[in-house]
Amino acid sequence: MRVAMVSEHASPLAVLGGADAGGQNVHVAALSAALARRGVEVVVHTRRDDPGLPRRVVAAPGVTVEHVDAGPARPIPKDDLPPHMGEFAARLHRSFRDDPPDVVHAHFWMSGQASLAAARPLGVPVVQTFHALGVVKRRHQGARDTSPPGRLEDEAAVARDADRIVATCSDEVFELVRMGADLRRIAVVPCGVDLELFRTDGPVAPRPAGRRRLLVVSRLVERKGIGDVVAAMARLPGAELVVAGGPPAADLAGDPEARRLLTLAKRVGVAGRVRLLGRVGRTDLPALYRSADLVVNVPWYEPFGIVPLEAMACGVPVVASAVGGLVDTVVDGVTGAHVPPRRHAVLAATLAALLADPPHRATLGAAGARRARRRYGWDRIARSTLEVYTSLPATRVADRPEGRSAGLGAGRPAGLAAGRPAGPGAGRPTDLPGGRPAGRPVVRPAGRPAGRPAGAVDSGEHPGSGSATFPLRGASQPEVGFGRAQKRQSGRGPR
């Protein structure tokens, strides 16, 4: 099977810690490598942000990163990328036309727009992972939301038009259905963790004697809730807080969020017990995790959150906000504790109780390590994702123009060619068991055995509005778009 990953702003080659470099970069890189280990040929298409980058880079065995020219070859904040997405989609279209993939897997809403515009005229099915939803961001950030004005409408159109949606947590399913996505086309496949890198044994970073250590690993943005942890430190006199993430240490003085956090630490009287490390290399993170008594991850909202998985895999209990994907990954009272977001007094009380009980922390840490290894290894996540690919109906493949179906024969999983899953229960987007009351279907992660639902969702209201159009402009660019007209041409009526 040949899979085209599309990740317009989050390159798998990017250095982590920047404003737009985080969990999605890790996810795309690790999922691509794990799929390649299962025999899938993967090409990751990402926007060129440096003129010195080669057109193609081999990122791992079986994984190639292709840099797509779209806009100036320099870093651009992702919220400023929409004007360049027409060019991005046009170049994707030419790439897919000349070297057709079997499946396109888009990551983030703008990648979904571009992928649908590029792949649909060629009959190539599109799988969508959003990683974050604009409607949730708007709800929590309000006037501070920097998303492009049309994001909510365009994102909803992608949710309605994609052939499959891979949600990373059960909470996301609620949001997607409210946006108008067809519940039957949604699969729940969580993010994963590198179990070879993040493990309980190995070096431990040094720490001062006589102090408990709280660790935050995060980008330095306000919504990540680091300020709430700093405020809670005023009630935790025997603890130190270490924050890993953001720009390199030498550049922290010029970072607005770093300055805000240090000012807050001075105001609440804990400046001597709060340390910002700046960017920490990924291979150095496991030792840092293992040096902590607790990892604290308390964002205002979080689509999934890879940091708790990394901490759990290292045997460290996690105190997490009861939001988004953190509700699925961190089991309250079993692998850590849930707290409400933006409630630093409650957070302080929870941290104090756990810091005062080393045996309980050890029990939580051991349970977290077991959970991470049993459920969140990337090979398992890749298997579940592959089941989604092989469950794609044959109708989209049948639409592919004559002579463009390279790869549909030998080496292609039978389910994708025949329009059926590769095995019993494989790739089910969701299950609607007979006898269950209408509107309460069971959401099951792809590959989950029957009878073991991950949770329930309400079907909600399905907005019936049509999709937005996404024309590609320019003399040398094909007129490729998606919307009502495009669906009529391909034989897909409005959902």
- Look at residue 474 and tell me whether its pLDDT is greater than 70: no
Percentage of residues of the chain with pLDDT beyond 70: 78
Number of domains in the chain: 2
Identify the domain boundary among 375, 397, 421.
Answer: 375
* pLDDT at position 450 over 90: no
339's torsion region: left (phi>0), alpha (psi -120 to 50) or beta? Answer: beta
As a three-state string, the secondary structure of the chain is: CEEEEECCCCCCCCCCCCCCCCHHHHHHHHHHHHHHHCCCEEEEEEECCCCCCCCEEEEECCEEEEEECCCCCCCCCHHHCHHHHHHHHHHHHHHHHHCCCCEEEEECHHHHHHHHHHHHHHCCCEEEECCCCHHHHHHHHHHHCCCCCCHHHHHHHHHHHCCEEEECCHHHHHHHHHHCCCHHHEEECCCCECCCCCCCCCCCCCCCCCCEEEEEECCCCHHHCHHHHHHHHHHCCCEEEEEECCCCHHHHHHCHHHHHHHHHHHHCCCHHHEEEEECCCHHHHHHHHHCCCEEEECCCCCCCCCHHHHHHHCCCCEEEECCCCHHHHCCECCCEEEECCCCHHHHHHHHHHHHCCHHHHHHHHHHHHHHHHHHCEHHHHHHHHHHHHHCCCHHHHHCCCCCCCCCCCCCCCHHHHHCCCCCCCCCCCCECCCCCCCCCCEECECCCCCCCCCEECCCCCCCCCCCCCCCCCCCCCCCCCCCHHHHHHHCCCCC
- pLDDT, greater one: 292 or 420: 292
Is 221 within the bounds of a domain? Answer: yes
Q: What's the pLDDT band for 269 if we cut at 50, 70, 90?
A: very high
Q: Across-strand partners of 45?
A: 6, 66
Residue 333 lies in a domain: yes
Of 238 and 425, the one with more pLDDT = 238
> Sorting pLDDT into bands at 50, 70 and 90, what band is 366?
very high
pLDDT tens digits for range 20-73? 456 788 899 999 999 999 999 999 999 999 999 999 999 999 999 999 999 999
Can you give the CATH number for the domain in which 401 is found? 3.40.50.2000
User: Is residue 315 located within the same domain as residue 362?
Assistant: yes
This prediction's pTM: 0.76
Domain boundary residue among 375, 409, 428? 375
Residue 275 confidence (pLDDT): 98
**394 and 331 within one domain:** no
Q: Is residue 317 domain-shared with residue 417, that is, in the same domain?
A: no
**Residue 216 and residue 246 in one domain:** yes
Of residues 403 and 235, more confidently modeled: 235
Whether 335 maps to a domain, the answer reads: yes
In a domain, 119, yes or no: yes
Q: What is the 3-state secondary structure (H, E, C) of 161-221?
A: HCCEEEECCHHHHHHHHHHCCCHHHEEECCCCECCCCCCCCCCCCCCCCCCEEEEEECCCC
The confidence score (pLDDT) of residue 242 equals 98
* Same domain assignment for residues 246 and 174: no
Instruction: Give the least confident one: 70-79, 167-176, 260-269, 407-416.
Output: 407-416
37, 140: one domain: yes
Residue 469 has pLDDT above 80, yes or no: no
Give the residue numbers spanning the domain of 146: 2-192+382-490
For 399-418, the pLDDT digits (tens) are: 444 333 333 223 333 333 33
Residues 179 and 216 in one domain: no
- Between CA 163 and CA 332 the distance in angstroms is 35
Same domain, 371 and 396: no
Per DSSP, what are the bridge partners of residue 318?
Answer: 295, 336
Range name among 237-251, 375-389, 417-431 with the lowest pLDDT average = 417-431
Does a structural domain hold residue 75? yes
pLDDT digits (tens, 9 = 90+) for 210-233: 999 999 999 999 999 999 999 999
Count the Cβ atoms, other than its own, within 10 Å of residue 25. Answer: 22
The pLDDT score that the predictor gives to residue 344 is 96
Q: What is the pLDDT of residue 394?
A: 56
Which tens digit of pLDDT belongs to each residue from 328-341?
999 999 999 999 99
**Are 38 and 82 members of one domain?**
yes
In a domain, 204, yes or no: no
356 plus 391 within the same structural domain: no
Query: Does residue 260 lie in a domain region?
Result: yes
pLDDT class of 86 with cuts at 50, 70, 90: very high
> Residue 144: which pLDDT band, with cuts at 50, 70 and 90?
confident
Q: Provide the β-strand partners of residue 275.
A: 242
Residue 74 lies in a domain: yes
The band of 449, judged by pLDDT with boundaries at 50, 70 and 90, is very low
9 with 119, same domain: the answer is yes
Rounded to an integer, the average pLDDT of 193-217 is 96
Last residue of a domain, one of 375, 395, 419: 375
Kindly state whether residues 159 and 285 are assigned to the same domain: no
Amino acid identity of residue 170, one-letter, is S
Residue 395 has pLDDT above 70, yes or no: no
pLDDT-derived band at 94, boundaries 50, 70, 90: very high
